[in-house]
Amino acid sequence: MERWILRCEVLFRFCAMWLLVLSACLEGLAAQRKVIYGIDITARYKDLQSLEASVYISSVAAAYNLLQLSRCLARLSGNSKGSYRYLAWTSYLLDQIAVYIVFGVCSAALAQSVLVLTGVEAFLWLKWCGKFTRFCFQIGGALACGYVACVAMILVSVISAYNLFRLYSPKKFLLLKAS
């Protein structure tokens, strides 16, 4: 049973890592240049602060998942034995933090992208997606990848919670099980 759960964790971490890398690449390479009314305008991800933050956060979260993936593969190959309570707590807390931060940044980027899509006349914010369609589709794909990565990271968090709380006794509060 434990080996099957570890394999699921490896699969979900691998998927989350690649989706986060794909999201960061799609956002980071998103740029479209057009001449509008004789003015050369380029839409880039750096024009929206939330997209720029999303690129950095997605990259850091992908690196974190790569490190955790190497830990899982070491456990799967049998090089790591025993129950490490502090490692389980650290993994659980870092997984929770990573999910919340990635979800928050994706949601902020989505909110700002909706403003770009619809425009806000009160702020003199123009509708970009009418003029920069390819840019908007690329950012939309990146945001979709980010949210699917969040789902994979949520499943990893569930597995981390299981790995942590199976170490404790079900009858006594925060008492470790007898080995």
d(CA 56, CA 28): 9
In one letter, which amino acid is 133? T
Confidence of residue 6 (pLDDT cuts 50, 70, 90): confident
Instruction: Pick the more confident residue, 144 or 133.
Output: 144
The closest alpha carbon to 101, from 56, 137, 166, belongs to 56
* pLDDT tens by residue, 99-108: 999 999 999 9
In DSSP terms, which residues pair with 33 in a beta bridge? Answer: 42
* pLDDT tens by residue, 39-87: 776 777 777 788 889 999 999 999 999 999 998 888 888 766 655 778 8
pTM over 0.95: no
What the block records as the tokens of 95 is 């997984």
Instruction: Give the other-Cβ count within 10 Å of 40's Cβ.
Output: 8
**For position 1, what pLDDT does the model report?**
59
Instruction: Give the other-Cβ count within 10 Å of 24's Cβ.
Output: 23
C-alpha torsion 102→103→108→112, nearest 10:
100
DSSP symbol at 179: -
